C-alpha cells in the first residue's frame, strides 16, 4: 500500500513536471517525425470531409470561443465556419453591445461588461436527446449563463449568477432541460465582504446554482442555490435514465488553499464529486427550507417582438443548506483533482477524470444509491456525508494516458477520453474498462465532442478534438498560432483522423447535433406586421424626424436600394441622434447595414422586418454621408444619404426628405 502510494506520488510529480514544462510528450515525438505527424491518412479521407459546393453539412457544431466570449457555429464534416454568434463580448459587426436594443444584454451588477470567457455550450434536451431548441453557454469571469435561440441564432437571454466566482461548472442540462446548472469555480466570501484572504477556510463558500428553464419560452430563473464548502467546483454533468434527478459536480482544492494552488490544491490523494439530488431539493423547497438571501444580479431578456433587450434587477435567491436538508448532497471521493465529469448514456456510470492521474475513475450510480442506503460514510463534512470510495467505485480504466480531462460516448458502449498531457484520445469499453484504441491529437487536447455525446443517444459518427496548441500545424501568424479542432471518424474499430480546422478564440467544450433537428425551425425573416418596436416605421410614409430637446429620433427605413429619408438637416452639434432603422425587406437573407462617417459607434446590420437603433452625438459641423454596409443589390453603392450638422446655436430648420 505504502509502495503504491509512493508510485502514485512519483507519478503526480512527473505529471506536475510535465505540466510545468508545458510540453506534451507525444506532441514532441510527433513533431519530430513528419510522416507520423501527418498521420497514416488513407487516400479517401478528403472525400469523406468534402461537402460539394451547394450541399449542406450533416451536422452543426457549436464550439465555444473561450476567451473570445462568443459561440462559433461550424458545419461537420467540412469544418466550415457558418456563423459567429456574439454572446458575452461586444461585436461591432453585428452591433451587439453597441445598438440600443442589445446594450442591456451585457449589463451586470458590476455595470456593462464588454467581454467574458465562454467555455461550455450545452444544447437543450428533451427526454435525454438534443432537441435543437436552445444552446446555453457559461460566462466564466463575471458569472453568467446565456441562452441562444436556435431559430434565430441570436443570444436571447443572459442571467447573472450571484454568490459565485468563476462560473465554470456550467451550464449543463438535465434530461428534459428542467434545469441548467452553474457551479462556482472560485469560492468567495459568503456573503461577499471585505475580509483577509487568509480567512478563506472559514469565510469563503462554494455555491451551486440550479437555473430553472421554462419549457415553453426557455426563460431562465435561479430556482435555488446549494451552499457548499469552500472548494473549487470545476465541471458538471447531470444524470440521465436511472440517475435522472441527480447532478454531479467535480471539485478540487478540497485542501482549501487560497494561494499557490498548484502545490496547495494537489495535496489530497482524493477530492470529491458532489452529487446533488435536485428532486430532493424541490421537496425541501416545497417544505419551505429555502432561505431567502438578498442578492444583487441582473437578468437580461431579448424580446423578439419589440426587437429589444431589457435588463432587470434581481434581489433575492433561495439558498438550501445541506445540514438542514439530509439526502440533498453526498461527496464521492475521486482521485487526483478531477476535472471533467461525464455520465454515460445509460446514466449508470459517472466518470471522474483526475487530471493529475493516469487512470480514469468510474463510479456506479447503483453502488452510490446502495452506499447511501447503507450509510457507508467515511466522514461528514459540513453536513455532507462522504461516501466510501470502494463502495461507489465501478471500475478504473488503468494507465490510459496522462492528464485525463473529458469523456464523451458514442452510443455503442464506448467512452472516449481526452488526455491533455499525453496529447491523445483514448477509446475504452464501458463496463470492462479495457483500452481499445488511442490516437494522437495535435496538440494538447482539452475537450472533445461527439454529437449528442453527453446525451442518452449519441450520434456517434464523428468526434471533434479541440486543441490548445497547434505549433507547426498551420502557417505561422506571428507569435500566436490558431487554436484548432480535429475531426475523427469513429464508426470503425480505429479512430481515424480526417481533418484539421482552425477555430475562433480558444475552443473549450462544443456540442453537435444533426442538422435536421435545426434546419426546419430556422427563421427566414421577421414579419414586419409583428414588429412591436416602439420606434418602428413600417412604411416609408411613416418615416419622420422628431426633436425632443437635445434628443433627435430618426424613424428611418431601408429597402433595396435606398434609405428613407436620405437627406436630413437641422441636426446640431451636441445633439443625441437616435437612428431607429427598420429594414422593410421581407425576403430571406437580405439584411441592410447602416453607418455614419465619424460616428464613434458600430454599424448596425438590420435583418428583414427588424428595427435597430444606433446613436450618434455629432461633435463637428459639416455634412456627413451614411451608407448601406452590406452589398445588397446591383444598386447597393447607390444606397447612401447625407446628414447635415449645424452649430449648436444655429437656426437650421429640422427637415428630412427622399427624392426631393
Which residues in this chain contact ligand CUA in the complex, by CB under 6 A? 592, 628, 630-632, 636, 639
* Distance in Å, CB of 592 to ligand CUA, minimum: 4
Ranges within 541-600 binding ligand K7E (CB under 6 A):
none
- Which of 61, 604 has the CB closer to ligand K7E? 61
Nearest to 90 by CA among 74, 110, 107: 107
- Residue 631 interacts with, from ligand CUA, ligand K7E, none (CB under 5-8 Å by kind): ligand CUA
| Position with the least CB separation from ligand K7E | 446
Q: Which helix (H) or strand (E) holds 284?
A: helix 278-286
Cβ-based nearer residue to ligand K7E, 339 or 391: 339
Angle at 92 between CA 91 and CA 94, to 5 degrees: 75
Give me the least distance between CB of 555 and ligand CUA, in Å please.
Answer: 18
Rounded to whole angstroms, the Cα distance separating 276 from 285 reads: 14
Q: Is 508 in the site for ligand K7E (CB under 6 A)?
A: yes
Alpha carbon 259 to its chain centroid, in Å, reads 28
CB of 636 to ligand CUA, least distance (A): 4
Q: Which is nearer to ligand K7E, 404 or 593 (CB)?
A: 404
Indicate which of ligand K7E, ligand CUA, none lies near residue 308 (CB less than 5 to 8 Å, by partner kind).
none
Q: Which of residues 334-373 bind ligand K7E (CB under 6 A)?
A: 339
**Interaction mask 422-451, ligand K7E, x per CB under 6 A:** ------------------------xx----
Q: Which of 30, 105, 350, 405 binds ligand K7E (CB under 6 A)?
A: 405
Nearer to ligand CUA, 483 or 583 (CB): 583
Identity of the residue, 171 or 189, whose beta carbon is nearer to ligand K7E in the bound complex: 171
Least separation in angstroms between CB 185 and ligand K7E: 9
Give min distance, CB of 311 to ligand K7E, in A: 27
**Residue 636 contacts which entry, ligand CUA, ligand K7E, none (Cβ below 5-8 A, type-dependent):** ligand CUA
Report how far apart, in Å, the C-alpha atoms of 410 and of each of 238, 374, 423 are.
17, 34, 20
DSSP 56: P
Which of ligand K7E, ligand CUA, none does residue 405 bind (CB under 5 to 8 Å by kind)? ligand K7E
Closest contact distance (angstroms) between CB of 38 and ligand K7E is: 25
Binding mask 115-154 for ligand K7E (x = CB under 6 A): ----xx----------------------------------
In whole angstroms, give the CA distance from residue 454 to residue 490. Answer: 16
Is 644 in a helix, a strand, or coil? Answer: strand
- Contact (Cβ atoms closer than 8 angstroms) between residue 231 and residue 253: yes
Residue 584 CA to residue 409 CA, distance in Å, equals 47
Its sign, for the CA torsion 564, 566, 569, 574, is: positive
> Residue 483 in 3-state DSSP?
coil
Which of 509, 633, 473, 625 lies closest to 559, judged by CA? 633
Q: Cβ of 80: how many Cβ atoms within 10 Å?
A: 13
249 binds ligand K7E (CB under 6 A): no
User: Taking CB under 6 A as the criterion, which residues in 222-241 touch ligand K7E?
Assistant: 235
- DSSP β-ladder status, 576-583 and 204-213: unpaired
State which residue, 348 or 603, has the beta carbon closest to ligand CUA: 603
Residues 167-202 as b/e (b if ≥16 CB within 10 A, e otherwise) read bbbbbbbbbbbbbbbbbbbbbbbbeeeeeeeeebee
Phi-psi region of 635 (alpha: psi -120 to 50; beta: other; left: phi over 0): alpha
Q: Buried b / exposed e across 541-563, counting CB within 10 Å, b at 16+?
A: eebebeeeeeebbbbbbbbbbbb
For 206, the 3-state DSSP assignment is: strand
Which of helix, strand or coil describes residue 249? strand
Instruction: From the list ligand CUA, ligand K7E, none, pick the one residue 639 interacts with, judged by a Cβ distance below 5 to 8 Å according to partner type.
Output: ligand CUA
Q: Please, which residue, 388 or 508, has the CB nearer to ligand K7E?
A: 508
Residue 509 touches ligand K7E, criterion: CB under 6 A: yes
446 touches, from ligand CUA, ligand K7E, none (C-beta below 5 to 8 Å by class):
ligand K7E
CB of 657 to ligand CUA, least distance (A): 19
Query: Quick one: 372 or 602, whose CB is closer to ligand CUA?
Result: 602
Q: Which is nearer to ligand K7E, 62 or 389 (CB)?
A: 62
DSSP 8-state secondary structure symbol assigned to residue 531: -
Contacts with ligand K7E by CB under 6 A lie at 119-120, 168, 235, 339, 405-406, 446-447, 508-509
Amino acid at each position: 500500500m505504502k509502495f503504491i502510494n509512493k508510485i502514485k506520488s512519483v507519478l503526480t510529480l512527473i505529471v506536475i513536471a510535465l505540466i510545468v514544462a508545458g510540453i506534451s510528450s507525444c506532441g514532441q515525438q510527433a513533431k519530430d517525425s513528419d510522416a507520423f505527424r501527418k498521420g497514416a491518412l488513407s487516400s479517401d479521407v478528403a472525400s469523406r470531409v468534402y461537402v460539394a459546393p451547394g450541399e449542406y453539412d450533416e451536422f452543426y457544431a457549436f464550439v465555444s470561443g473561450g476567451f473570445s466570449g462568443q459561440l462559433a457555429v461550424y458545419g461537420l464534416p467540412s469544418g466550415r465556419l457558418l456563423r459567429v454568434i456574439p454572446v458575452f463580448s461586444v461585436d461591432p459587426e453585428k452591433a451587439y453591445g453597441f445598438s440600443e436594443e442589445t446594450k442591456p444584454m451585457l449589463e451586470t451588477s458590476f455595470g456593462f461588461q464588454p467581454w467574458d470567457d465562454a467555455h461550455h455550450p450545452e444544447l437543450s434536451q428533451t427526454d435525454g436527446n438534443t432537441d435543437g431548441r436552445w444552446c446555453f453557454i457559461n460566462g466564466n469571469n463575471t458569472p453568467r449563463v446565456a441562452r441562444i435561440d436556435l431559430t434565430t441564432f441570436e443570444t436571447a437571454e443572459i442571467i447573472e449568477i450571484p454568490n459565485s466566482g468563476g462560473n465554470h461548472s456550467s451550464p449543463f442540462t438535465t434530461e428534459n432541460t428542467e434545469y441548467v446548472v452553474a457551479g462556482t469555480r472560485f469560492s468567495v466570501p459568503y456573503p461577499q465582504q471585505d475580509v483577509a484572504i487568509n480567512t478563506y477556510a472559514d469565510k469563503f463558500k462554494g455555491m451551486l446554482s440550479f437555473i430553472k428553464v421554462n419549457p415553453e419560452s426557455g426563460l431562465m430563473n435561479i430556482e435555488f442555490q446549494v451552499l457548499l464548502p469552500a472548494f473549487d467546483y470545476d465541471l458538471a454533468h447531470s444524470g440521465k435514465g436511472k440517475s435522472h434527478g441527480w447532478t454531479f459536480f467535480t471539485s478540487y482544492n478540497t485542501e482549501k488553499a487560497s494561494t499557490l494552488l498548484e502545490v496547495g490544491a494537489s495535496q489530497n490523494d482524493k477530492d470529491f464529486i458532489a452529487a446533488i439530488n435536485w428532486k430532493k431539493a424541490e421537496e425541501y423547497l416545497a417544505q419551505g427550507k429555502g432561505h431567502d438571501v438578498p442578492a444583487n444580479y441582473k437578468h437580461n431578456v431579448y424580446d423578439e417582438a419589440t426587437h429589444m433587450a431589457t435588463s432587470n434587477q434581481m434581489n433575492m435567491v433561495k439558498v438550501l443548506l445541506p445540514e438542514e436538508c439530509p439526502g440533498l448532497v453526498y461527496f464521492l471521493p475521486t482521485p487526483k483533482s478531477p476535472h471533467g465529469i461525464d455520465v454515460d448514456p445509460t446514466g449508470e456510470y459517472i466518470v471522474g477524470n483526475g487530471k493529475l492521474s493516469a487512470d480514469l475513475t468510474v463510479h456506479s450510480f447503483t453502488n452510490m444509491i446502495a452506499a447511501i442506503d447503507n450509510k457507508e460514510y467515511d466522514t461528514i463534512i459540513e453536513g455532507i456525508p462522504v461516501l466510501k470510495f470502494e463502495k461507489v467505485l465501478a471500475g478504473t480504466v488503468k494507465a490510459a494516458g496522462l492528464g485525463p480531462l473529458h469523456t464523451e460516448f458514442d452510443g455503442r458502449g464506448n467512452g472516449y477520453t481526452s488526455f491533455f498531457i499525453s496529447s491523445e484520445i483514448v477509446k475504452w469499453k464501458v463496463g470492462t474498462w479495457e483500452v481499445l484504441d488511442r490516437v494522437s491529437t495535435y496538440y494538447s487536447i482539452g475537450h472533445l465532442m461527439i454529437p449528442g455525446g453527453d446525451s442518452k443517444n449519441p450520434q456517434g459518427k464523428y468526434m471533434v478534438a479541440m486543441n490548445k496548441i497547434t505549433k507547426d500545424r498551420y502557417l505561422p501568424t506571428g507569435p500566436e498560432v490558431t487554436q484548432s479542432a480535429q475531426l475523427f471518424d469513429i464508426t470503425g474499430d480505429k479512430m481515424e483522423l480526417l481533418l484539421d480546422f482552425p477555430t475562433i478564440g480558444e475552443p473549450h467544450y462544443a456540442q453537435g447535433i444533426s442538422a435536421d433537428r435545426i434546419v426546419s425551425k430556422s427563421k427566414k425573416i421577421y414579419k414586419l406586421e409583428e414588429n412591436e418596436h416602439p420606434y418602428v416605421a413600417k412604411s416609408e410614409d411613416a418615416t419622420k424626424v422628431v426633436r425632443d430637446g437635445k434628443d433627435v429620433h430618426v424613424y428611418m427605413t431601408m429597402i433595396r436600394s435606398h434609405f428613407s429619408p436620405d437627406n436630413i438637416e437641422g441636426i446640431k452639434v451636441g445633439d443625441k441622434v437616435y437612428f431607429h432603422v427598420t429594414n422593410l425587406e421581407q425576403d430571406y437573407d437580405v439584411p441592410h447595414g447602416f453607418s455614419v462617417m465619424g460616428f464613434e459607434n458600430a454599424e448596425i446590420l438590420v435583418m428583414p422586418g427588424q428595427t435597430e437603433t444606433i446613436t450618434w452625438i455629432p461633435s463637428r459641423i459639416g455634412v456627413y454621408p451614411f451608407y448601406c454596409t452590406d452589398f445588397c443589390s446591383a444598386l447597393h453603392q447607390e444606397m447612401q444619404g447625407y446628414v447635415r450638422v449645424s452649430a449648436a446655436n444655429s437656426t437650421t430648420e429640422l427637415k428630412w426628405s427622399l427624392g426631393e
